[in-house]
Structure 1
């Protein structure tokens, strides 16, 4: 394995990682104290501020893919992927929350559901529909694998360690604190992650500021020199962003 991290960077990463783990564990313990039964573990105690819930939701909707995987799609397919992920996806998410969230919570509180599959089964009085939703939930394992691989690649290079120890540490730490704290801890830890993501997003945006202020070669001109399709609204070479339907609804 190529050691990419310098000694100074290695020290900074280890310190940041230890501080992060310490903060997360503090909030996990705090959340676990509110967990007294399985209902609290599954859905939380509903005693959080709107800001905490909003930040937690934002962290859950963006995930690590926003910073590790999605930028790769945008770098590969250009403006078309940016429009899909940074314009149409947020619009669709906000509209969905406005339309469905209030009704979803009202019915969920009435039926006292602990999982999405249980909510669907009770709401539509269908055991087969509940089983189908449970099966779809299991398929989230594929996304977990995707995120774990992405985080492993980043962390292993930042710490100059092999992939297996990095992956083991990520899995044990994440699943460990979730098993201990449940939904209450999830809200706290997601809130911390959301704040960190805001900081990272600002840093990333300002790190590329000079690309938009270069008077000799503008940002879009530079993209066109690489590939004219990178500046097109629809990238015909892409399996995901070839036309408006795929770019806005399918993706």
Structure 2
């Protein structure tokens, strides 16, 4: 048992209200969804609302639940990496990329990442390729499923299997109908709740500063001296500045090249107000990313990383910290915020991935049979995604390789490693041949997986490999190869 009976009762009540609120927006959105394009992009939304949707989608259960667990294990080095280097790189990249992507996307009426790339390079095979490798994003769905299951199972004192089953049926079920017209508004509500919860979590350990910052560091140092170092030799992720800073800058710059992130700009009612969209999104995300410091508070709260005599798994640390640290009222609000963090990104992933599979994989392969029944086919795709993600998620709950984050990063990083060069070149260079970017994408994927699975470089010769290293090297190599081909190896149009 983790939560009290009082906590559990009120948790069920709040969940029921929260579910009804979501269903209200879903039904409202479904009534406005007439075709597959409505499902993908909606009917146009105010810039600040799309910005909040972006913030909620880009910061998921990983930001609020999984990443603070890394910090609880490894300390200040993780805060530097996940709390500052990665988000600042991502914010700069988001500003630079979004304007060009939105401008071109609007002109060619692209609804998905694969369509943008296919239209930009005038090549249907390349679009199909990106539709297929988008399946890597299932790993991200799995991460969020696991994070939500950990939070809810601890809050409800429920069997994780049935919690995961309930999440899968409910979320994938309602995402079969509303699409963008409901998702943007549910994301907005979720973003506001997440902001309040982020402030609470960031302030939840202020009592540890009664003797100032030095006193706080002394508490961490007494638990483990590695926790107060800017590098952590005992970790698998923060061993030196190459891993903490260089790799995270590369990952942060490339991370925006995911379909549920960069395509948000295509939903704007007025594309000219893109600055307001970026300002509202980045403003909220800046606060969200600081939540990782709650991992330091959790480590002081659980100095030996045990609870009731049981060793805590990394993905359990924050859920149990919330359930045991806070009063019932505040704790329940935080749990709803953690759920919102997961659902907002999960909704965006289901929406973008299902559309990609339907429009960019099945339709090119089977033609009008898909096009004439696209809404129904898309719902069938969502059902299949639900089944696949459920079984993989259950396996990750029971047999994680340190954390489900490792599994998810390996897949997600492979996708945006491949997407980085075509988006970069397509936004800033002219007359780029499809051969150039296609080769660069293949190089990125092959390099990433080769380094990871064949354990190339000393960083990989450890029990738990860091996908950020293999992906960042893959991105750098693909940029070099792509630019070389662009300058010397392609036939200019």
* TM, length-normalised to structure 1: 0.92
Judged with a 3 Å threshold, the aligned counterparts in structure 2 of structure 1 residues 133 and 148 are, in CA distance, closer, same or farther, namely same
* Match of residue 237 from structure 2: 240
* Match of residue 14 from structure 1: 12
Give how far 1:50 is off.
2.2
Unaligned 5+ runs, structure 2: 249-493
1:35-74 matches, within 5 Å, as 35-46=33-44, 48-74=45-71
8 Å CA contact retained: 1:59, 1:191: yes
Give how far 1:245 is off.
2.8
* Match of residue 110 from structure 2: 113
Distance 2:50 2:153 in 1: 32
User: Greater relative contact order: 1 or 2 (C-alpha under 8 angstroms, separation 6 or more)?
Assistant: 1
Give how far 1:19 is off.
1.3
Distance 1:227 1:132 in 2: 47
Give the SS at the match of 1:199.
helix
Distance 2:152 2:203 in 1: 23
Give how far 1:30 is off.
2.2
Judged with a 3 Å threshold, the aligned counterparts in structure 2 of structure 1 residues 185 and 249 are, in CA distance, closer, same or farther, namely farther
Give how far 1:170 is off.
0.6
Give how far 1:127 is off.
3.7
Distance 1:129 1:243 in 2: 37
Give how far 1:83 is off.
1.1
Distance 1:93 1:154 in 2: 27
* Match of residue 128 from structure 2: 131
**In the alignment, is residue 213 of structure 1 matched against residue 210 of structure 2?**
yes
* Match of residue 348 from structure 2: none
Give how far 1:128 is off.
4.2
Distance 1:216 1:30 in 2: 49
Judged with a 3 Å threshold, the aligned counterparts in structure 2 of structure 1 residues 65 and 160 are, in CA distance, closer, same or farther, namely same
**In the alignment, is residue 229 of structure 1 matched against residue 226 of structure 2?**
yes
Partner deviation per Cα, 1:108-160 (whole Å, 9 max, x = no partner): 11222222112112212334432332233111111111211121122122112
Unaligned 5+ runs, structure 1: none
8 Å CA contact retained: 1:28, 1:188: no
Q: Which runs of 4+ in 1 moved over 4 A?
A: none
**In the alignment, is residue 148 of structure 1 matched against residue 141 of structure 2?**
no
Match of 2:30 among 25, 32, 36: 32
* Match of residue 435 from structure 2: none
* Match of residue 166 from structure 1: 163
Match of 1:80 among 74, 77, 80: 77
* Match of residue 202 from structure 1: 199
Distance 2:76 2:214 in 1: 18
* Match of residue 2 from structure 2: 4
Partner deviation per Cα, 1:37-89 (whole Å, 9 max, x = no partner): 2111112222x222211111111111111121111011111111111111112
Give how far 1:217 is off.
7.2
Moved more, 7-16 or 119-128: 119-128
Moved more, 54-63 or 144-153: 144-153
Partner deviation per Cα, 1:9-58 (whole Å, 9 max, x = no partner): 01111111111111111122222233222111112222x22221111111
Give how far 1:215 is off.
5.8
Distance 1:163 1:199 in 2: 27
